[in-house]
């Protein structure tokens, strides 16, 4: 999981730039949808940890935009040239992140903490709903990894469980939940917990996700909470005790009929066709495109958010001495 020395500019990076996506991760959701038909009959979606917004872009383009040349149309509209977006009236997409996000057509972007109890009424308000009737909750959130695998996997699991808690508050019975997961040493415990809420839990690896990466996506279908379950952001489950009475449940393992020790391995599906780009492969691109035009480097659509060490770099530059301070 440590940062690899691999060149990050793979085929999907280039493709994302060409098709106007804010990040290459857009293709992961597209390939997941192609496999699981996630967007079928979906009108209400919540996108968690959405920044910079490539999944919201996919949702917006897939659920709202109609038209012959939709890719071109939306790409243009995002850059502000074409304002006219033909949207299906009923579709609601709410995107949440702690970081500010550049607006997207047809997407309600909210800057909010997904674990905070006040976020739920905010989301419901924007969905113009007072009940849980969301069809799909998606989350592509991941922490900046430290290199301590157990800690990184714990933090990622907490992000996923926070997303699950919000999902249990907004999903309609039968709704679906898709989230990024790190397939580390305790992943079977997470699968088991998800299985308690969903009829079908599958782990999927889109071809656009690198084989060398620990990431995969859990696709949880048909939300069927256990009888008597009370969803709550005040007392979320499995994210540390919020009351004395939570302790017993959190020091013990969860269990299922077919996983008495709380560990269950979800079936695996690789998605995306073999004919699509392989994110692990190195491609020899011709210098010119099919029209004989010389390829030029395209700037990223959405520059990456400022890294936390931005000021440190500026300080170093100011001090000179080849960046050495001491």
Give the binding site for other proteins (CB under 8 A).
1-2, 4-7, 9-10, 98, 115, 143-144, 146-150, 154-155, 158, 183-185, 187-188, 191, 205, 207, 211, 214, 239-244, 246-248, 250-252, 263, 265, 267-270, 274, 278, 280-284, 307-312, 315-316, 323, 325-326
Burial of residue 2 (number of CB atoms within 10 Å: 0-12, 13-18, 19+): exposed
Question: 282-315 burial string, b = 16+ CB within 10 Å, else e?
Answer: eeeeeeeeeeeeeeeeeeebbeeeeeeeeeeeee
Q: How far is the CB of 90 from other proteins (least distance, A)?
A: 35
Nearest residue to 36 (alpha-carbon basis) of 205, 160, 265? 205
Q: Residue 90 or 243: which CB sits closer to other proteins? A: 243
CB of 33 to other proteins, least distance (A): 18
Residues shown for the chain: 326
Report how far residue 240's alpha carbon sits from residue 230's, in angstroms, rounded to the nearest whole number.
Answer: 17
For the bound state, the minimum distance from the C-beta of residue 173 to other proteins, rounded and expressed in Å, comes to 28
Smallest separation (angstroms) from other proteins to the CB of 161: 11
Nearer to other proteins, 250 or 288 (CB): 250
Query: Is the Cβ of residue 88 or residue 285 nearer to other proteins in the bound state?
Result: 285
Helices 11-19 and 26-36: angle between axes, nearest 10 degrees: 90
Distance from C-alpha of 10 to C-alpha of 13, rounded to nearest angstrom? 5
- CA-CA distances (angstroms) from residue 21 to 12, 18, 24, 63? 10, 8, 7, 16
Please say if 180 is a catalytic residue: yes
Beta bridge partner(s), residue 108: 94
Considering 28, 92, 180, 205, which one is annotated as catalytic? Answer: 180
When the beta carbons of 103 and 240 are compared against other proteins, the nearer one is 240
Residue 88 or 265: the one with the smaller Cβ distance to other proteins is 265
**Smallest separation (angstroms) from other proteins to the CB of 315:** 5
Q: What residues are labeled active site? A: 180
């Amino acid at each position: 999981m440590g940062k690899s020395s691999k060149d990050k500019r793979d085929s999907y990076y280039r493709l994302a730039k060409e098709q106007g996506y804010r990040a290459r991760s857009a293709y992961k959701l597209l390939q997941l949808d192609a496999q699981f038909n996630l967007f079928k009959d979906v009108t209400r979606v919540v996108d968690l940890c959405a920044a910079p917004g490539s999944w919201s872009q996919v949702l917006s383009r897939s659920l709202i935009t109609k038209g012959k040349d939709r890719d071109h149309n939306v790409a243009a509209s995002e850059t502000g040239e074409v304002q006219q977006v033909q949207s299906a009236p009923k579709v609601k997409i709410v995107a949440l992140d702690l970081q500010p996000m550049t607006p997207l057509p047809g997407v309600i972007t909210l800057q909010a903490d997904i674990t905070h109890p006040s976020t739920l009424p905010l989301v419901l308000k924007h969905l113009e709903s007072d009940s849980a009737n969301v069809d799909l909750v998606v989350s592509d959130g991941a922490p900046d990894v430290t290199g301590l695998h157990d800690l990184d996997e714990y933090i990622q699991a907490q992000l996923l469980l926070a997303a699950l808690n919000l999902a249990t508050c907004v999903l309609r019975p039968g709704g679906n939940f898709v989230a990024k997961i790190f397939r580390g040493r305790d992943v079977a415990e997470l699968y088991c917990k998800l299985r308690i809420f969903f009829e079908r839990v599958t782990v999927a690896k889109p071809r656009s996700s690198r084989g060398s990466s620990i990431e995969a996506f859990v696709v949880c279908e048909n939300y069927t909470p256990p009888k008597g379950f009370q969803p709550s952001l005040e007392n979320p489950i499995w994210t540390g005790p919020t009351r004395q009475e939570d302790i017993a449940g959190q020091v013990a393992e969860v269990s299922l009929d077919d996983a008495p020790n709380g560990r269950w391995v979800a079936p695996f599906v690789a998605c995306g066709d073999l004919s699509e780009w392989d994110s692990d492969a190195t491609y020899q691109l011709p210098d010119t495109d099919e029209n004989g035009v010389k390829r030029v480097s395209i700037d990223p659509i959405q520059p990456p958010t400022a890294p936390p060490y931005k000021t440190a770099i500026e300080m170093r530059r100011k001090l000179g001495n080849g960046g050495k301070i001491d």
